[in-house]
Amino acid sequence: MSFLNKEICDGDNPDLTEERRTATFDTDRMAQVIYGSEKFAARRRQITKSISRIPALQDTKPLAFMTREEKITEACRELDVLSDHWEQLIYVNDEEEALHLHREVIGMEGHPFALHETMFIPTLVSQASDEQQEKWLGRARKREIIGCYAQTELGHGSNLRKLETTATYSPSTQEFILHTPTITALKWWPGALGKSSNYAIVMADLVIKNKSYGPHPFIVQLRDEKTHQPLPGITVGDIGPKMAFNGADNGFLGFDHFRIPRGNLLMRHNRVEPDGSYLKPPHAKIGYSSMVKVRSRMAMDQGLFMAQALVIAVRYSAVRRQGFLEDKSQEVKVLDYQTQQHRLFPSIARVYAFIFCGLETIQLYEKLILDVNKNGDTSGMADLHSLTSGLKSVVTHFTGQGIEQARMACGGHGYSMASYISEIYGVAVAGCTYEGENMVMLLQCARALVKAVELVEEGHPEKLSPMMAYLTKPSVTVDLTVGPEAYVKIFQLIAKKQAFKATEQLHKFMVAGDSRDVAWNKSAVELTKASRLHTRLYILKTFIRRVESITDISVKAALTDLLNLHLNYELLDVASYALADGIMSSTQMDFIKNQLYSSLEKIRPNAVSLMDSFQFSDLQLRSVLGRRDGHVYQNLFEWAKSSPLNQSEVLPSVTQYLKPMMEKSKL
Ligand SMILES: CCCCC/C=C\C/C=C\C/C=C\C/C=C\C/C=C\CCCCC(=O)SCCNC(=O)CCNC(=O)[C@H](O)C(C)(C)COP(=O)(O)OP(=O)(O)OC[C@H]1O[C@@H](n2cnc3c(N)ncnc32)[C@H](O)[C@@H]1OP(=O)(O)O
Ligand SMILES: Cc1cc2nc3c(=O)[nH]c(=O)nc-3n(C[C@H](O)[C@H](O)[C@H](O)COP(=O)(O)OP(=O)(O)OC[C@H]3O[C@@H](n4cnc5c(N)ncnc54)[C@H](O)[C@@H]3O)c2cc1C
């Protein structure tokens, strides 16, 4: 069957055209599944098309050849152009469209609005009172002001209870006095803080009458709105170059008894009255909701990062020919090698799985904020916190691995910045650290798991949330040939065993006399293993649910192949647990392996189209290897020629050092 696939173009590399002709589904239909709706998938295409008509937004010079300052300047120029066209390009205030616009135009390097859109505005939405929103939200949305989220300090990022920046209330002036008492109290890392933002949400320890109330969010003006100079009492700057993400000015910030009005404490959920009396929030951690928001996005965003790397690697693998199979008259596409497929296809499956989870958790967060803001209902907070803590950790870890495999799958050219994979990798793996270091967040997820196991042990299984219900499932013998549900059952048994084992170990240390904290630390590796399995089970179940709900038959068939690959790959990956506990036999293992290998063969004809379906433009991909038209070699040569080193035949460094050195050696 051949579809009139929109990606097919006669001027393209014939190897890619051939791949596109073999697709068994329509990439526009697949895009609807990826992006959650026909409407949004169509809007994305429309926005991409509109962008392509704005000459000032077409990349001129490769980012790889720019200095950091040039990258930041270029990002600002593009933002300025975007701002002029904002209302024609996207529906104002539509977060997904704004993110698409930024991803497409600015690339991975980051930009001064990265935190404005993802944390500053969302914090105002979730934490500011109606009156405060009236004052700041409109201005922020119109980009009259640029904001960031300043929480992490030089000395503390994970343990928020020890943040040192203070906001001391002065009833006589009705002001908070922000202060940085030590070097370790300097805010350090916030994106776009260094040079771009003129406002920040600052998380500081609220102190009233010598009593500390813990971290609270304040809106703080950092720079003069006319001159952009830092206000007196504020020290602010850039923390220097990073592994990647160098178009963003992550910054430092210190306060010297800097005064802000009482009304700058975000007061949707808690209040400080003029006399200093404090009204506490309905949930102690409600002030952390912006972090939960970003974590709830991360499965989607990381999935898209890995998708970009895989579009590049899969397209390149279809035009790269090296070595022979049966026919010795023509070298084969490297995508035909089983090892190449095994390297790339399981990650393609994970991309789809992660994105399906992201679609779900983004909605869960939106619902939570509605419940909290409209009805004061905080009952969903604990579950979403534990779910997104585990999910961000597992997803970022596998995304890093998948992108690195994509790089290696491109051989030597993958190592060139022309592939753009190194930048994607550098940005993606930052996600293992930001929004909560992965081990720390896995341990947050483990808290909920241990509590659930304890409920089962205490005879209260009815109190378990639906996500934990598998902890009560009895051991059964499973016939894997019956389909996905059998895989779920085995995974549930593995995850359940590990959750009980880790809890048992924790209890054993406590019975032996350790405090819960010490026992927790002695059990931490086992606890993180339990969290990973729990989270991977959620990912697997979400993937199954999503595929079952698809109505387009050909799209569903292609994704069923991918799902089968995922089920077999995941189970094989955790087989050591299953074998050790007698949950699976070695015969079942052989069955899984064979299923996995036949899935690779089934997916092969659709590989390019499964990645084309993400509909990333060449502008967004910024990759010579991943070009939609597949004309890799001539463009690699053009790219290399544009290197600044090639703008003269003899470099000054040769004249100054190498030539004299060689002359000296002749003497
Ligand atoms: C990410 C979006 C990117 C989109 C970009 C899109 C497009 C742009 C395109 C290209 C650009 C390219 C790249 C963009 C990439 C990157 C840049 C973008 C964004 C980067 C953003 C980064 C921002 C940050 O990093 S902000 C700082 C984040 N910091 C943290 O996460 C700190 C981690 N620590 C904590 O959260 C906490 O300290 C803690 C570890 C959870 C512990 O908290 P604590 O108060 O000590 O609590 P305790 O352990 O005692 O627990 C008590 C109890 O409370 C429960 N709890 C804790 N937190 C929560 C919560 N939030 N909600 C509910 N409940 C909570 C905890 O579990 C305990 O419960 P129990 O007692 O066990 O029942
Ligand atoms: C690209 C990037 C962008 C960022 N953007 C922002 C931003 O916009 N705003 C902002 O406020 N911050 C930002 N951050 C900071 C980021 O949120 C923190 O770096 C992160 O939360 C980790 O905290 P940390 O650096 O203190 O790590 P640490 O906690 O010092 O981690 C060091 C090691 O200690 C381990 N560890 C720490 N605590 C425990 C524990 N309880 N149990 C077991 N192990 C533990 C960790 O697992 C890790 O291995 C950004 C960081 C990066 C890299």
pLDDT, one tens digit per residue, over 120-145 is 999 999 999 999 999 999 999 999 99
Is the pLDDT score of 7 beyond 70? no
Pocket of ligand 2 (CB under 6 A): 115, 149-152, 156-158, 189-191, 245, 250, 430, 433-434, 436-437, 439-440, 443
Ligand with minimal distance to 149 CA: 2
CATH of 145-281, one of 3.40.720.10, 3.60.15.10, 2.40.110.10, 1.20.1250.20: 2.40.110.10
Q: Please tell me the residue having the least CA distance from ligand 2 atom 41.
A: 440
DSSP 463-515: GS-GGGGGGGPPP----GGG-HHHHHHHHHHHHHHHHHHHHHHHHHHHHTT--
Q: Which atom of ligand 2 is nearest to the CA of 187?
A: 11
**Is this complex's ipTM strictly greater than 0.90?**
yes
Average pLDDT, the chain: 96
Task: Say if residues 201 and 119 touch (Cβ distance below 8 Å).
Answer: yes
Residues contacting residue 596 through CB under 8 Å, at least 6 positions apart: 565, 568, 569, 572
Q: CA torsion sign, 94 to 98 to 99 to 104?
A: positive
Ligand 2 pocket test, pick from 288, 291, 440 with the greatest ligand atom count within 8 Å of Cβ, gives 440
- Mean of the pLDDT values across residues 302-323? 98
Q: Which atom of ligand 2 is nearest to the CA of 439?
A: 47
How confident is the model at residue 35, as a pLDDT? 98
| Residue 333 φ/ψ, nearest 5 degrees | -65, 135
Q: How many CA atoms lie within 13 A of 2 on its CB side?
A: 9
Ligand with minimal distance to 101 CA: 1
Is the pLDDT score of 662 beyond 90? yes
Question: In whole angstroms, what is the distance from residue 383 CA to residue 371 CA?
Answer: 14
Q: How many CA atoms lie within 13 A of 472 on its CB side?
A: 16
- Mean of the pLDDT values across residues 49-75? 91
Question: In whole angstroms, what is the distance from residue 423 CA to residue 521 CA?
Answer: 35
Confidence of residue 557 (pLDDT cuts 50, 70, 90): very high
Is the pLDDT score of 657 beyond 90? yes
Residues contacting residue 370 through CB under 8 Å, at least 6 positions apart: none
| Residue 253 φ/ψ, nearest 5 degrees | -155, 130
Is the pLDDT score of 264 beyond 80? yes
Q: How many residues are there in the chain?
A: 667
Buried b (16+ CB within 10 A) or exposed e, 416-439: bbbbbbbbbbbbbbbbbebbbebb
Question: In whole angstroms, what is the distance from residue 540 CA to residue 485 CA?
Answer: 10
Q: Please tell me the residue having the least CA distance from ligand 1 atom 12.
A: 108
How confident is the model at residue 59, as a pLDDT? 67
User: In whole angstroms, how large is the CA radius of gyration of the chain?
Assistant: 27
Residues annotated as catalytic (active site), given as ranges: 435
Q: Which atom of ligand 1 is nearest to the CA of 444?
A: 67
Q: What is Dmax (Cα atoms) for the chain?
A: 90
Q: CA torsion sign, 341 to 347 to 351 to 352?
A: positive
Confidence of residue 8 (pLDDT cuts 50, 70, 90): low
Tell how far the Cα of 75 is from the centroid of ligand 2, in angstroms: 26
DSSP classification of residue 523:
T
Question: In whole angstroms, what is the distance from residue 576 CA to residue 498 CA?
Answer: 12
Q: Which amino acid does the sequence have at 441?
A: M
Find where tokens 């009492």 sit. 233
Tell how far the Cα of 434 is from the centroid of ligand 2, in angstroms: 6
How confident is the model at residue 61, as a pLDDT? 78
The residue among 107 and 340 whose pLDDT is bigger is 340
Is the pLDDT score of 20 beyond 60? yes
CATH number of 290-460+486-611: 1.20.140.10
Q: Please tell me the residue having the least CA distance from ligand 2 atom 32.
A: 437
Tell how far the Cα of 291 is from the centroid of ligand 1, in angstroms: 4
- Mean of the pLDDT values across residues 101-121? 92
Question: In whole angstroms, what is the distance from residue 141 CA to residue 245 CA?
Answer: 24
Task: Say if residues 451 and 441 touch (Cβ distance below 8 Å).
Answer: no
Tell how far the Cα of 299 is from the centroid of ligand 1, in angstroms: 14
Ligand 1 pocket test, pick from 285, 393, 433, 620 with the greatest ligand atom count within 8 Å of Cβ, gives 285
Share above pLDDT 90 across residues of the chain, in percent, rounded to a whole number: 93
Picking from 570, 561, 560, the residue whose alpha carbon sits closest to that of residue 540 is: 570
Q: Please tell me the residue having the least CA distance from ligand 2 atom 16.
A: 434
How confident is the model at residue 5, as a pLDDT? 53
Question: In whole angstroms, what is the distance from residue 276 CA to residue 518 CA?
Answer: 38
- Mean of the pLDDT values across residues 193-211? 98
Summarised one tens digit per residue, pLDDT across range 481-499 is 889 999 999 999 999 999 9
Identify any residues that bridge with 206 across adjacent strands, giving them in sequence order.
Answer: 167
Confidence of residue 656 (pLDDT cuts 50, 70, 90): very high
Confidence of residue 63 (pLDDT cuts 50, 70, 90): confident
How confident is the model at residue 450, as a pLDDT? 98
Ligand with minimal distance to 110 CA: 1
| Termini Cα distance of the chain | 74
- Mean of the pLDDT values across residues 548-554? 98
Pocket of ligand 1 (CB under 6 A): 99, 102-103, 108, 110, 114, 118, 149, 151-152, 157-161, 191, 285, 288, 291-292, 294, 297-298, 301, 381-382, 385, 427, 430, 434-436, 440, 444, 447
Task: Say if residues 199 and 256 touch (Cβ distance below 8 Å).
Answer: no
Question: In whole angstroms, what is the distance from residue 359 CA to residue 35 CA?
Answer: 8
DSSP classification of residue 272:
E
CB atoms within 10 A of CB 38: 13
- Mean of the pLDDT values across residues 605-612? 98
22 among annotated binding-site residues: no
Tell how far the Cα of 438 is from the centroid of ligand 2, in angstroms: 9
Ligand with minimal distance to 239 CA: 2
C-alpha distances out from residue 386 to 127, 443, 449, Å: 21, 9, 9
- Interior angle at CA 221, CA 218 and CA 224, nearest 5: 175
Summarised one tens digit per residue, pLDDT across range 406-456 is 999 999 999 999 999 999 999 999 999 999 999 999 999 999 999 999 999
Is the pLDDT score of 2 beyond 70? no
Q: CA torsion sign, 222 to 223 to 224 to 230?
A: positive
Tell how far the Cα of 159 is from the centroid of ligand 2, in angstroms: 9
Tokens, residue 279: 């009204």
How confident is the model at residue 151, as a pLDDT? 98
Q: Please tell me the residue having the least CA distance from ligand 2 atom 36.
A: 440
Summarised one tens digit per residue, pLDDT across range 367-417 is 999 999 888 899 999 999 999 999 999 999 999 999 999 999 999 999 999
Q: Which atom of ligand 1 is nearest to the CA of 292?
A: 61
Share above pLDDT 70 across residues of the chain, in percent, rounded to a whole number: 99
Helices and strands in the chain: count of H runs, count of E runs:
25, 11
Question: In whole angstroms, what is the distance from residue 176 CA to residue 174 CA?
Answer: 7
Question: In whole angstroms, what is the distance from residue 505 CA to residue 526 CA?
Answer: 8
C-alpha distances out from residue 598 to 348, 479, 570, 601, Å: 16, 19, 15, 5
Q: CA torsion sign, 514 to 515 to 516 to 522?
A: negative
214 among annotated binding-site residues: no
- Per CATH, the homologous superfamily of domain 35-112 is Acyl-CoA dehydrogenase/oxidase, N-terminal domain (1.10.540.10)
Q: Where are the domains of the chain?
A: 35-112, 145-281, 290-460+486-611
C-alpha distances out from residue 1 to 10, 12, 25, 214, 374, Å: 19, 21, 9, 63, 51
Summarised one tens digit per residue, pLDDT across range 218-238 is 999 999 999 999 999 999 999
Question: In whole angstroms, what is the distance from residue 311 CA to residue 419 CA?
Answer: 11
| Residue 254 φ/ψ, nearest 5 degrees | -130, 150
Q: Which atom of ligand 1 is nearest to the CA of 441?
A: 40
Picking from 416, 352, 367, 433, the residue whose alpha carbon sits closest to that of residue 157 is: 433
Question: In whole angstroms, what is the distance from residue 279 CA to residue 283 CA?
Answer: 12
In three-state secondary structure terms, 362 is helix
Tell how far the Cα of 286 is from the centroid of ligand 2, in angstroms: 20
Is the pLDDT score of 277 beyond 70? yes
